[in-house]
Copies of this chain bind each other. A is one copy, B any other.
Amino acid sequence: MRRYQQQTRILLAVDCIIVGYDGTELKLLVIQRSFEPFKGQWSLVGGFVQENESAEDAAKRVLKNLTGLDGLYMEQLQTFTSPLRDTVERTASIAFFTLIDIQKYRQQLSEDYHPAWFSINDVPHLIFDHNEMVEQAKEKLRYKAALHPLVFELLPNKFTLPQLQNLYECLYNKTFDKGNFTRKVLSTKLLVKMKDKDKQSSKKGAFYYKVDPKRYNADFHSFTNFVSVPSLLNSIPKK
């Protein structure tokens, strides 16, 4: 049995897959790497884990630095540990999956990093194994969003049901029946109807809704599915 002293110590990094929704499609936020090697190439937002912080702390720090925002939805995806994944020195990277309201983000954007949004279906070549991380995040998002009310993290506080439907349609790349979608969403009692309407996208106008925070927090884990499970499973591409 090997003891502590004899072991190799390695660098530990975090990389964030930041997903947003601009009203039309799902977007991924990437930056231009600011140091060598591969300076100037597209990369996920990331950083090294510091001495007195956990990986979660590190991810929060990195996100705050870039966006100015706290309290973003964030979860561990997977840790990438292939010995040669980083060409400089062995580094394990914990990938974090993050959802962001693209509206809130816009104002706070720090330009130092030369960030850019890409359509999630058209991601450029990223350094190291970052493209693989993105693929995993996409799969996870589709999987989880069918069972839990994740997607509200991607929407502004006020949104309409057609907007919500469009988001689901982007996510699963299929169309849903208007009527059935509305009924299913409202049957969860998760949304509160507001008095005002969005009139931009139609003449009649669609009522705004907001998430009922009490129910949202209570029901996050025990949520019934907007997307039926067979259709969820059929939508997920085989590995």
Q: Which residues of A contact B (CB under 8 A)?
A: 1-4, 7-12, 34-35, 47-56, 76, 78-79, 81-83, 88-90, 92, 94, 147, 221-225, 229-230, 233-234, 236, 238-239
Contacts and interface: CB of A to CB of B under 8 A. Distances in A.
A60 B84 CA distance: 19
Contact of A52 (B50, B83, B88, B221): B83
Contact of A76 (B55, B79, B229): B79
The A interface, classified by DSSP as helix, strand, loop or mixed, is loop
B83 A56 contact: no
A221 B236 CA distance: 8
Task: Indicate how many identical chains form the complex.
Answer: 2
Please list the 5 inter-chain residue pairs (A to B) with the smallest Cβ-Cβ separation, ordered nearest first.
Answer: A9-B9, A55-B81, A7-B48, A79-B79, A54-B81
A225 B229 CA distance: 8
Nearest to A9: B9
5 contacts: A8-B48, A8-B49, A55-B92, A147-B229, A147-B233
